[in-house]
């Protein structure tokens, strides 16, 4: 039998997850994307609170190969950058390793019991953060302090209970496979797929036609159809693979 104490503990096993659009005023990555057409996506990160530094592995993508070179040069020269080195590079994309001084926002979140729950992305002078808290008090205190030295907007807020958290962790591989399938779309396939969906092509009855989509993109109806079929095939294959993994996980 589950006692009252156990029920209390289970009911308080929640995570508050915030999706924050952030502009820090002491972040080397944000300052660099302000000046250069380059974007950074985190692959791995490690905050060292004793040394007050953040070590990261990132993917840097420039608008051109020249933009990548300029962006990496500015990043190395930033006063808050301790170390920046290239792990691999091809055309306008590079994998880099960095160590930066702890920013005000990172210090504030860590000091108030917050933690990073997902990879961050920096582009056009803004940064997308995923931050978790264990209770409302930590969240409120952190956001109040962040307002003093940073510009940010909370874009989304979820409160996940133990069942949702377990399900999320248990099916992380399925989610990653679906994400990889979406990322496999070319730019043309993605924009065509998105435009068709927004215009109601997949509604019943359809709210737009191939002819209208062809006019929108100024290409032939055959080309639109081919782009849609390729994108549908990739997304469907990824979704089916994810579903198989979910079924496999539930069978154990």
Per-residue pLDDT of the chain (252 residues; tens, 9 = 90+): 434 333 333 344 557 889 999 999 999 999 999 999 999 998 888 878 788 888 999 999 999 999 999 999 999 999 999 999 999 999 999 999 999 998 999 899 989 998 887 778 899 999 988 888 988 899 999 999 999 889 999 998 876 555 555 555 566 677 677 778 788 888 899 899 999 999 999 999 999 999 999 999 999 999 999 999 999 998 888 888 877 776 554 444
Of the candidates 159, 176, 206, which is a domain's last residue?
159
So what's the pLDDT on residue 66?
96
3-state secondary structure of 186: coil
So what's the pLDDT on residue 12?
43
So what's the pLDDT on residue 170?
65
- The whole-angstrom separation of Cα 198 and Cα 177 is 24
Q: Which two tokens stand for residue 242?
A: 């994810």
Q: Same structural domain for residues 152 and 178?
A: no
Cis peptide before 15 (omega within 30 of 0): no
- The whole-angstrom separation of Cα 224 and Cα 115 is 44
Does residue 74 lie within any of the structural domains?
yes
- pTM, rounded to two decimals: 0.61
- The whole-angstrom separation of Cα 227 and Cα 189 is 5
Of the candidates 130, 159, 188, which is a domain's last residue?
159
So what's the pLDDT on residue 214?
94
Of the candidates 143, 159, 175, which is a domain's last residue?
159
Contact between 75 and 84 under an 8 Å Cβ cutoff? The reply is yes
Q: Same structural domain for residues 29 and 150?
A: yes
Q: Same structural domain for residues 66 and 128?
A: yes
So what's the pLDDT on residue 211?
94
Gyration radius of the chain over CA positions = 22
Residue of 41, 31, 47 whose CA lies nearest to 95: 41
Does residue 59 lie within any of the structural domains?
yes
Q: In this structure, what are the phi and psi dihedrals at residue 18, rounded to the nearest 5 degrees?
A: -110, 135
Instruction: Annotate 29-55 with b (16+ C-beta within 10 A) or e (fewer).
Output: bbbbbeebbbbbebeeeebeeeeebbb
The residue segments making up the domain with residue 217 are 167-251
Does residue 121 lie within any of the structural domains?
yes
């Amino acid at each position: 039998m589950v006692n009252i104490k156990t029920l209390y503990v289970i009911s308080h096993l929640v995570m508050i997850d915030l999706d924050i659009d952030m502009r820090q005023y002491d972040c080397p990555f944000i300052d660099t994307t302000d000046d250069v057409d380059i974007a950074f996506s985190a692959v791995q990160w490690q905050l060292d609170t004793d040394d007050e530094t953040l070590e990261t592995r990132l993917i840097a993508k420039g608008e051109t190969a020249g933009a990548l070179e300029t962006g990496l040069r500015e990043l190395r020269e930033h006063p808050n950058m301790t170390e920046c080195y290239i792990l691999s590079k091809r055309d306008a994309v590079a994998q880099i390793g960095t160590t930066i001084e702890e920013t005000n926002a990172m210090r504030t979140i860590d000091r108030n019991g917050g933690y990073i729950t997902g990879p961050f992305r920096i582009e056009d002078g803004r940064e997308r953060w995923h931050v978790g808290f264990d209770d409302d008090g930590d969240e409120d205190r952190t956001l109040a302090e962040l307002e003093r030295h940073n510009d940010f907007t909370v874009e989304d807020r979820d409160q996940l209970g133990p069942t949702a958290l377990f399900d999320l962790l248990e099916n992380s591989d399925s989610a990653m496979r679906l994400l990889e399938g979406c990322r496999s779309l070319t730019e043309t396939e993605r924009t065509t797929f998105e435009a068709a969906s927004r215009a109601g092509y997949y509604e019943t009855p359809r709210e737009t036609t191939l002819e209208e989509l062809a006019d929108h993109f100024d290409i032939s109806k055959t080309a639109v159809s081919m782009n849609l079929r390729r994108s549908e095939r990739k997304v469907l294959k990824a979704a089916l693979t994810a579903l198989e993994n979910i079924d496999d996980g539930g069978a154990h």
